[in-house]
A and B are shown apart, each in its own frame.
Chain A
Amino acid sequence: MRARDKRLLAAIVAVAVFVAWVVWPANPGIHFHALGLGIDRDIKVRQGLDLSGGVQVLLEADVPASEAVTREQMDAARAIAENRVNALGVVEPNVQLVGNRRILVELPGVADPDEAVQALRGTGLLEFIVWVSIDLEPGTAVNTTGRSAVGGAETASPTPEVTPTTGATPLATPDSTPSAPAADVTPTAAAGDATATPSAPAQEATPGPTPEEPVYRTVLTGKDLKSVSLGTDEYGKPEIDFVLNPEGAKVFAEHTRANVGKFLAITMDGVVISCPQIQTGITEGQGRITGKFTLAEARALVVQLKYGALPVPLKVVERRTVGPTLGQDSVARTTRAGVIGLVVVLLFMLVYYRLPGALADLALIMYAMVTFALFKLIPVTLTLPGLTGFLLSVGMAVDANILIFERMKEELRHGRSLGSAIEAGFSRAWTSIRDSNLSTLITCCILFWFGSTYGASAVKGFAVTLFLGVVVSMFTAVTVTRTFIRAAFALMGEPLREKPWLLGV
C-alpha cells in the first residue's frame, strides 16, 4: 500500500467520524463562545412544508402585466412580508423572491393557515407613535390609533397582537368611517398614554379598542415621509436620515418640541422597529434616527421606512396547506421504505460481488452519511420528493461501483493479475461514470431552475438532493471504494486471485 493511499484512508476515516457526528440525531450543534467569538449553529434537518405541515403562499404583484415592477420594489415587499411572518411567531419561516414579481412565503407548523394568509395580505403601515416612559424593544407589538383609523378592514386583520400588558385580543375595527389623515388622529382614552400632546388637534373620537389594551397615538405615518436615506453620525455609526413633507413637518415640529427627552416609537404594522429618543425639537422637517443597530439593520430600516406600505399591492396566486399528520405519516413510511430498499441493495452487492461488494457497501453507507450530513450542514430543506431523490441517489450510487466491478471481473477473465485488474477496472470505468452522471446533473440543473422560478419547492428539493447525491457518489464510489480495495489488496495480496469466490468472478 502506497503512502498516498494510507493518507487517503486516514482522511476517509476522519471524514467518516466527522459526518457520523453531524448525522447523529441528537447533535447539539456548534455553540462556541470564547476569544470574543460567538458561534451558535444548530445542526439539524430542516424539514420542508410537506413534512412538517404548514402553509405555503405565493404572492404576486397585483399590477397589470404590462406595468413594470422593479427589483427594489419587490425586495421591499419581501422585507415587509418577512416582518409580518416574524410577527406571527413562526419558527423558521422562509420568505423569498421567485421570478420577477412573486414572493414565496413558507410557514412551517402554522396551526391556523387562514389567519396567517390573512395577515400577509395586510397593507403594511408605518407609523411614528407617541411613547413616553421607557425604550420599547424592537419587536414589541402595540396597538395604535393610526392602525384602527387608517387601516380599516384590511389592517385590522387578525394579526396576533402580543401586547406586553394583556393577551391577544383582536383589534376592534371602527364602524365609523374615520378616513382622516394620520396627523389628525385623535388621542384616545387609552391607558398608558397619559401625555397626549396638546398640539394635535382633537377632532373626532375614534372608538378605541378594549380599554385594558394600551393604544398609542399615531403622530405620523409613512405617507408623511418625503425621503429616507442611510447616513452615518459623527462617530461613524449608521443612522437614518429622513425628510418629511410640509404637512408632516408641521405636525412633527409641534410634537417633538413638546416632547423632548421622550421616546418616539416607529412601528411597522403595529410592531416596533425602532424607538429613538427625541433629542431636540425638529422644526425643519428633517431628522435622523440613531440607535443600536448595525449597518445591515439600518439599511433594512431604510428599506422599510421608504416602503412602509407595500410598494406594490400583492395578491395570493397560489396557496398550499398540508396538515402535519399527513406529512409525519409520509416521512415515517417513506423512510422505512427507503431503509428496506437500501438493505436489499446492500445485500445484493454483497451476494453478487462478495468482497468488493462488502467494501462498496461500506462506501455506500459512508455515501449516505456524507450526503445526509451535507443536507444538515448547508442546510437543505428536506421535502418528501427530496427524500425520495436522496433514497434514489443511494440506489444509483452503487452504479459506479457496479461499472467498476464488472470491469474488474472482465479484466480478471482476460488473465490479468489482480493488482492490474483492480487499477484497470477503476481507470477504464471512469469515463462512463463521468459521462453518464453528467447527464443526470444537467437535468438536475434544469429542474432546479424550474423549481425556483415557480416556487415549486418540491421540485427544487428533489433536484438539490439528487444533484448532491450524484456529486458525492462520484467521490465515494470511486475514491473511497478504491482506497478500501487497495487496502484490502495490500492486506491479502495476490493470493486473493486464488479465491475467485471472494471476488464474485
Chain B
Amino acid sequence: MLDIIGKRKWYFLLSALIIIPGLVAIGVSFARYGAPVRLGIDFTSGSLLEVEFEQAVLPGDVRAVVESEGIADPRVQTVGDGRTVVIRTKTIEAETKLAIEAALERRFGSLTELRFETVGPSVGREVTRAAVAAVVVAALGILAYIVMAFRKVPNAFRYGVCALAAMLHDILVAVGLFSLMGLLAGWEADALFLTALLTVIGFSVQDTIVVFDRIRENVPKRRGEPYELIVNRSLLETLHRSLATQLNAMFVLIAILFFGGATIKQFVAVMLIGMLSGSYSSIFNAVPLLVVWEKGEIRSFFRQLRRQPAVQ
C-alpha cells in the first residue's frame, strides 16, 4: 500500500517551499504598497481609463500628456500590441477625463474609450473592510459547518481546524502568487480577486471534506487498526476521485485561461492555482495533520526544538 502519511514531513516541506517565496512577496508588497497584494482601485479608490489608439504609443509619452493636464503621478501601461493604454490616476471627475482624452487625441490622433472606472475613497475603504470580513466569516462559517458535520466522530474540532489549516495554506499560495505577480507583472487585486479567493476557499474545503468523510466512515469499521493506517487507507480510496475531479475543473479553467476573455485572466489564474493547491493541501496537509495531532507530534516537535539548543 502506498504510504502517503508516512512521508508527511516531505509533503509539509514541499508546501513550505512553495509558500515561503509567496510570504516574501507578501512582505515586500506590504513594504511597498501597504497591503499583501498590490491593490486595484476597487480597494484603494482612484480612476482607471483604458483607451485604444489607431497606432502604437509609448507609455512615457502618454504619461507626459496626462501630467500636462494637471494629473499628479499617473501610472500608464500599454497592453497587447501597444495601441491599448491603461491609465491609472487618483479619483478624477468625468470632466477631467474628457480633458485628458482631448489632450491625448491632439497628440496621438483619434482614440476609442474602452473602459472608464472611478471609485471614490469612501467606497474603497468600505470594500476593503468588507473583503476582510467576508474572508473571516467564510472561514468561521466553514469551521462551524465541519464541526457540526463531524460531530459524531471523536475530536470533531480537530477536523475543522485541520480543514482550516489546509484552507489557510491555499489562501497563502493564492495570495502569494498574486503578490509575486503584482511585483513582477503589475497584477492588481480587484473585487474579482476576492471572489476567486473565496471560491478557492470553498473548493479547498470541499476536497478536504471528501477525504474526511471517508475517514469518518472507516474509523468505526476498522476498530483494530491504528489511526495512521485508517487515514492512509481512506486517502488512497479517495485518491482517484480527487484526481479525476481536479482534472475536470482544470480542463475548464485552463481552457478559459488560454482562450477566454482578457479581462478575467487573473481571476481564472488565481482560481486555477488555488484549486491545485486545494487538492494538494487536502491530501498532503490536512489529512496528515490529523495524524500529527492524533499522535501528539506537535508537542514533541516543539519539545525537540527546545531540546536542540541545549544540545549545541
By a beta-carbon cutoff of 8 Å, the part of chain A in contact with chain B is: 50, 58, 60, 113-114, 117-118, 315-323, 325-326, 329-331, 333-334, 336-338, 340-342, 344-345, 348-349, 352, 384-385, 388, 391-392, 394-396, 398-399, 402-403, 406, 410, 428, 431-432, 435-440, 442-444, 446-447, 449-451, 453-454, 456, 458-459, 462-463, 466
State the CA gap A329–B112 with chains docked (Å): 15
Q: A337-B256, A337-B258, A442-B202 are in contact. Are A321 and B137 (CB under 8 A)?
A: no
Asked if B123 and A388 make an inter-chain contact with CB atoms under 8 angstroms apart, the answer reads no
Q: Give chain A nearest CB distance to B147 CB in angstroms.
A: 12
B199 touches A443 (CB 8 A): yes
Within B283-299, the residues touching A (CB, 8 Å) are none
User: Can you list 17 A-B pairs with a CB-CB distance of less than 8 A?
Assistant: A316-B120, A318-B119, A340-B255, A384-B264, A385-B264, A388-B260, A391-B252, A392-B249, A399-B241, A435-B213, A436-B209, A437-B206, A444-B202, A446-B198, A447-B134, A450-B194, A458-B191
A396 touches B249 (CB 8 A): yes
Q: Which 4 A-B pairs have the closest CB atoms?
A: A330-B261, A341-B255, A395-B252, A443-B202
Query: Which residues in A have their C-beta under 8 angstroms from that of B238?
Result: 406
Which A residues are CB-close (under 8 A) to B300?
A: none
The yes or no answer to B141 lying at the interface (CB within 8 A) is yes
Residue in B244, B252, B263 whose CB lies within 8 Å of A330:
B263
Chain B residue numbers with a CB within 8 Å of A459 are: 191-192, 194-195
Which single member of B120, B138, B209 contacts A318 (CB below 8 Å)?
B120
Q: What residue of chain B has the Cβ atom nearest to residue A461's Cβ?
A: B195
Determine, out of B26-34, B61-69, B125-133, B172-180, the stretch whose residues face the partner at the interface: B125-133
On whether A317 and B119 interact (CB within 8 A), knowing A326-B114, A392-B252, the answer reads yes
Q: In the complex the two chains form, is B261's CB within 8 Å of A318's CB?
A: no
Residues of B with C-beta under 8 A to A410: 237
Task: Tell me if B113 is interfacial: C-beta within 8 Å of chain A.
Answer: yes
Q: Is B110 positioned at the interface, with any CB of A under 8 Å from its CB?
A: no
CA distance in complex: A410, B236 (Å): 12
Main secondary structure of the interface of A (DSSP, over half): helix
Q: Is B145 part of the contact surface with A, judged by Cβ < 8 Å?
A: yes
| Chain A residue, CB-CB nearest to B257 | A337
Task: Name the residue in A342, A462, A466 with the highest tally of chain B Cβ atoms < 10 Å from its Cβ.
Answer: A462
When the two chains form the complex, which single residue of A391, A436, A446 contacts B206, counting CB atoms closer than 8 Å? A436
Tell whether, in the assembled complex, residue B199 and residue A348 are in contact, meaning their CB atoms are under 8 Å apart: no
- Is the Cβ of A402 less than 8 Å from the Cβ of B241? yes
Residues of B within 8 A of A431 (CB): 213, 217
Contact between chains at A60 and B122 (CB < 8 Å): yes
A333 to B112, CA, bound (A): 21
Cβ-neighbour of A398 out of B119, B194, B245 (below 8 A) = B245
The CA of A440 and the CA of B167, in the complex, are separated in Å by 13
Q: How far is the CA of A419 from the CA of B46 in the complex (A)?
A: 63
B207: chain A residues at CB < 8 Å are 436
In Å, the complex CA distance between A316 and B194 comes to 24
Q: Are B116 and A330 in contact (CB under 8 A)?
A: no
Question: Which residue in B130, B201, B267 is a CB contact (below 8 Å) of A454?
Answer: B130
* Contact B114–A338 (Cβ < 8 Å): no
Q: Report if B37 contacts A (CB, 8 A).
A: no
Q: What is the total number of residues of chain B having a CB less than 8 Å from a CB of chain A?
A: 68
Contact B123 A340 (CB under 8 A): no
Specify which of B114, B217, B261 is in contact with A323 (CB 8 Å cutoff).
B114
Query: Which B residues lie within 8 Å of A340 (CB)?
Result: 255, 259
Say which residue of A117, A330, A436, A442 sits within 8 Å of B264 (CB atoms). A330
Closest residue of B by beta carbon distance from A398:
B248
**In the complex the two chains form, is A435's CB within 8 Å of B149's CB?**
yes
The distance in angstroms between the C-alpha atoms of A459 and B29, with both chains bound, is 25
- CA distance in complex: A396, B244 (Å): 10
Contact A440:B206 (CB < 8 A) given known A326-B115, A399-B245: yes
Q: 1/0 per position for B255-277, CB-CB distance to A under 8 A?
A: 11011111110011001000000
Q: Would you call A342 and B252 a contact (CB within 8 A)?
A: yes
B210 — which chain A residues lie within 8 A by C-beta? 403, 432, 436
Establish whether residues A454 and B126, one from each chain, have CB atoms under 8 Å apart when the complex forms. Answer: yes
A338 x B191 contact (CB < 8 A): no
Bound-complex Cα distance A403 to B240 (A): 9
Please, how many angstroms separate the alpha-carbon atoms of A443 and B171 in the complex? 14
CB distance from A174 to the nearest CB of B (A): 22
Whether A435 and B209, one on each chain, are in contact in the complex, defined by CB atoms closer than 8 angstroms, is yes
A230 to chain B, nearest CB (A): 36
- CB of B131 within 8 A of CB of A450, answer yes
Residues from chain A with Cβ under 8 Å of B87 in the complex: none
Assembly CA distance A329 to B118 (angstroms)? 23
Chain A residues with CB below 8 A from B194, complex form: 450, 459
Task: Give the chain A neighbours of B198 by CB distance below 8 A.
Answer: 443, 446-447
B105 at interface by CB-CB < 8 Å: no
**In the complex, given contacts A384-B261, A439-B205, what are 5 additional A-B residue pairs having Cβ atoms less than 8 angstroms apart?**
A338-B255, A340-B259, A439-B145, A439-B202, A466-B199
Confirm or deny: B254 has a beta carbon within 8 angstroms of a beta carbon on chain A: yes
Specify which chain B residues have a CB less than 8 angstroms from the CB of A438 in the assembled complex: 145, 149
Taking the complex as formed, is B75 at the interface, i.e. its CB lies under 8 A from any CB of chain A?
Answer: no
Residues of A within 8 A of B260 (CB): 330, 333-334, 337-338, 388
Chain A residue nearest to B268 in the complex (CB): A388
List chain A residues, Cβ under 8 A from B267: 385, 388
Chain A residue contacts of B255, Cβ below 8 A: 337-338, 340-341, 344
B203 on interface, CB distance cutoff 8 Å: yes
Q: Which residues of A contact B141 (CB under 8 A)?
A: 442, 446
A373 to B240, alpha carbons, bound, how many Å? 32
Contact partners of B254 in chain A: CB under 8 A? 341
Which one of B142, B195, B210 has the highest number of Cβ atoms from chain A below 10 Å of its Cβ?
A: B195
Q: Determine whether B94 belongs to the interface, using a CB cutoff of 8 Å to chain A.
A: yes
Known contacts A399-B248, A443-B138: A337-B259 contact under CB 8 Å: yes
Given A392-B252, A432-B210, A384-B113 contact (CB < 8 Å): no
| Cβ B253 vs Cβ A392 within 8 A | yes
Pick the contact of A321 from B117, B195, B245 — CB < 8 Å? B117
Residues of chain B lying within 8 A (CB to CB) of residue A60: 120, 122-123
A443 touches B201 (CB 8 A): yes
Chain B residues near A315 (CB-CB < 8 A): 120
